[in-house]
Chains A and B, each alone.
Chain A
Amino acid sequence: MKKFLAIITTLFLLILTDIILSKYFGFLKIKPNIWLIHIVYLALFVGHTESTVVGFLSGMIIDILHLTIFGLNTFALMCLGYFCGWVYKRVDESLFKVKIIFLFLSSILFLLLQIIISKIFSIPHSVPLGILLTPFVDTIIGYFFIIFFIWYYRNWKII
């Protein structure tokens, strides 16, 4: 129950943060994907099931809030959560390089998943050049977000 509440409140906070970030980074088209960062955190620190479920929920929230093709982000983030979840308890998540590499690879994987899904389901999905910078932005900003998530979930005594 505690875990459920912690995840719900985090999702709520992420919605607000996403609104702020959309305002700030909206004109640059390069926005750190905090949902992805959260899923990576869950996959590394909380569990495989959690990362899959939250990936699905987060994707739904993005699709609803940003009014993209419904299912695109849901599918991509759910897959990401599932794939990333395999590393749970298999790597030393406390290491700096693990977090960084994982964030970077996850970001690339997410972009690839979006492209693959859009191709499979013939969804018009544009890939602007600036989006190639997203993995770097996600990695840099994501690291700080992960530190925050560690602190936050530790307060809930989940990890």
Chain B
Amino acid sequence: MTLKEFLLKHRPTVLFIVFSILNIIFLTSGLTSYLRTVRSFFIYFFSFGYIPANKVVNYPVEVYNRFLKLIYITEENRKLLQQVKKLLLYKLKYEQLYQTYSRLMEITNVKNILPEFSLIDCKILVREYFHWYNYLVILGGKQDGIEEDLPVVVVANKKLFLIGRIWTVSEKTSKVLLITDPLSGIPVKVKDKPIQGIVLGEATPYLVMEYILPEDDIKIGDVIVTSGLINNIPENIEIGTVTNITASSTTGFKKAIVKLNYNINNLDYVSVLKKYNQR
């Protein structure tokens, strides 16, 4: 057997011996301290592998961190929602207060128009769907000094608009007969003109002014105000504007359709007019 044949036959053992010798040299020569450079080279060589490896390793950690963040965000969101709800309530309260303030300011301003009258501010309590243009109930009654037949007005744009009269009064509430109710009849006149008549309700946002004499010069666009001929209702409280005029073929009397100058559908608060000396 030649050396070559022996080496080929016992290749693993030969390699084992060679490697063992190499290893003994490695272990006895203390090569470790010199290997830092080789290691750096290896790490540099495999650095592109570190990036995906790190990504693979860090991904579950990231997911976990995101999950934790999600919990935190959910909690934060819950708190913020509570705060938003509170703020919305505050906003509503603020708006309500601002509205009240504005209304009171309006009332203060119009007091100069009717110095002998006091205004009793009342919130609308009930307005029924089936009697929308007939009546409404206000939060204010005998204990607030409200009496029957007192005029009910709305204050807007430094003006008073008549919307009805007190119909019945209880201790704490009152029923207001709206001027749009067919039972309502208010003596009125055309502003700045010597034309008088009566407005009647028709259960619509429009009123009818009757008993206008044929020779009266009433025109579309004329403003209708109270004439003061009825007890308790002062003069010159605005009601509406003439939108159409017709004449009766038999009697000759004119009839005017009056559109209310204040949107009666949008009532929130009303004021009851009462003379200071009235008991």
Do the two shown chains form a genuine complex with each other? yes
Interface residues of A (CB under 8 A from B): 15-16, 19-20, 23-24, 48-49, 52-53, 56, 61, 63-65, 67-72, 74-75, 78-79, 82, 85, 117, 121, 123
Interface size class of B (residues with CB under 8 A): 20 to 34
Report the 7 A-B pairs with minimum CB-CB distance, sorted nearest first. Answer: A71-B26, A71-B27, A75-B23, A23-B57, A48-B12, A82-B16, A70-B32
A110 to chain B, nearest CB (A): 15
Where chain B touches its partner, the secondary structure class is: helix
In angstroms, Cα B20 to Cα A69, docked, is 16
B11 touches A71 (CB 8 A): no
Contact B57 A74 (CB under 8 A): no
**Cα–Cα, bound, A56→B49 (Å):** 23
Residues on B lying within 8 angstroms of A by beta carbon are 11-13, 15-16, 19-20, 22-24, 26-28, 31-32, 35-36, 38-39, 42-43, 46, 49-50, 52-54, 56-57
Q: Say which residue of A53, A65, A78 sits within 8 Å of B42 (CB atoms).
A: A65
* Residue pair B12, A19 in contact (C-beta under 8 Å): no
How many whole Å from B202's CB to the nearest CB in chain A?
A: 86
How many angstroms from the CA of A79 to the CA of B22 in the assembled complex? 13
By secondary structure, the A interface counts as: helix
The residue among B16, B31, B42, B50 with the most chain A CB atoms within 10 A of its own CB is B16
Collect the chain B residues with CB atoms within 8 Å of residue A75's CB.
Answer: 20, 23-24, 26-27
Q: Considering the chains assembled together, what is the distance between the CA atoms of A24 and B61 in angstroms?
A: 11
**Which residues on A sit within 8 Å (CB–CB) of B11?**
49
Contact A70–B26 (Cβ < 8 Å): yes
Are the CB atoms of B46 and A16 closer together than 8 Å? yes
Q: How far is the CB of A76 from chain B (nearest CB, A)?
A: 9
21 A-B pairs (CB sep. < 8 Å): A16-B52, A19-B46, A19-B50, A20-B56, A23-B54, A52-B16, A56-B19, A56-B23, A63-B35, A64-B35, A65-B43, A70-B26, A71-B27, A72-B27, A74-B19, A78-B16, A82-B13, A82-B15, A82-B16, A117-B27, A123-B27
Which residues from A are CB-within-8-Å of B12?
Answer: 48-49, 52, 82, 85
Q: How far is the CB of A117 from chain B (nearest CB, A)?
A: 8
In the bound complex, do residue B53 and residue A16 qualify as a contact, i.e. CB atoms below 8 Å apart?
yes
Which residue of B is nearest A59, CB measured?
A: B23
Query: CB-nearest residue of chain A relative to B60?
Result: A24
On chain A, the residues within 8 Å of B54 by CB distance are: 23
Closest to A20 in B: B53
List A contacts of B13 (CB < 8 A): 82
Q: Which residues of B contact A123 (CB under 8 A)?
A: 27
Q: How far is the CA of A64 from the CA of B31 in the complex (A)?
A: 10
**CB-nearest residue of chain B relative to A56?**
B19
Residue from the list A20, A70, A72, A85 in contact with B35, Cβ < 8 A: A70
Contact between B46 and A15, CB atoms less than 8 A apart: yes
Q: How far is the CA of A69 from the CA of B19 in the complex (A)?
A: 16
A65: contacting residue among B16, B39, B56, B57, CB under 8 A = B39
Q: Return the chain B residue nearest A18 by Cβ.
A: B53
Residue pair A74, B15 in contact (C-beta under 8 Å): no
Residue on A with the closest CB to B17?
A: A82
